[in-house]
A and B are shown apart, each in its own frame.
Chain A
C-alpha cells in the first residue's frame, strides 16, 4: 500500500465516474478511496486497482442506505 499512497493515476479520475450516478469522483488520499458524493459511496482502491462495485463500496453516511437503481 505504502508505495501507492501518493495518489492514483490522474487518468483514473479523468476516466472513471460513479457507476450509479455517472457523476465525477473525488480522490481521498488518506483512505485510498474514490468518493461519489451524490451516491454517498466510497469506492476502495485496493493494491492500486479501483473496485468500482456498488456492493463493495463503503457508505459515507452509515445511517443511510445507498440508493440502488
Chain B
C-alpha cells in the first residue's frame, strides 16, 4: 500500500510541530480528549491490572487523565512533549494526592532518557499516530521495557479494506486539525518482533482502534 505512505507521515512531520500543537491546546485538552478517548484508556488500564505495584512508564501522559487509575502502590513515570500539559498533570497529582506519581518529565518518546529495562510496563495510549517516526518510538518502548515486562499500545490502525481506507482519507483533514493522524499502518508493529503479542482487543465505538499487549521474554 505505497499510496498510504504520505498519510502515515501526516501533518506531524516534526517533533517541534507536535510539541507546539499540544502546548497551544493544553487548556482544552481534557474537554476534547477526556470523554472521547475514555473507553480506550479504561480498557488499557483494566488490561494492565493497575492493582499491581510496579514501575510504569506512560508515554504521552498529557494532563494526567489516567493517573488516578493507577494503584497507589504503583510507581508511575509520566512523560510528554509539552511542559504545559505536565504542569496540569502535576496539579492533578497534587490535588488528588496521587502517591503513585513518581516523576513527570518532558521527553521525546523517540529518544527516551531511561536505561534499558527500566519499567515493568510501558504504555502509549493514542501516541503512535501523533509521533513523526512511530517505529523509533516502538524501538525505544521495547528497549526500556524490562525482561518479563509488558508494552501496551492503544491506537487506531489503518484498515486493510478499500472502503475503510476511503473513509479514513475523507476524515483525515478533520483529524489532523485536532492533532490526530487517522491512519497508521499496522506494519510498524514489526519493530516489536521478539516480543509476544499476548492480547489484542477492539476498543468498542472506535473502528480500527485496538489495545495491544506485548510481553518481553524474561
State the A residues within 8 Å of B (CB).
Answer: 9, 11-12, 15-20, 22, 46-55
Contact = CB atoms under 8 A, between A and B. Distances in A.
Q: Which of A15, A48, A50 has the most CB of B within 10 A?
A: A15
Interface residues of B, number: 22
Interface SS majority for chain A: mixed
A54 B111 contact: yes
Given A15-B77, A16-B105, A48 B111 contact: no
Given A49-B83, A51-B83, A15 B106 contact: no
Nearest to A45: B105
Interface string B47-81: 00000000000000000000000000000010100
A54 to B, nearest CB: 7
Given A48-B90, A49-B83, A20 B106 contact: no
Contacts of B77: 15
Contacts of A54: 108, 111
A17 to B, nearest CB: 6
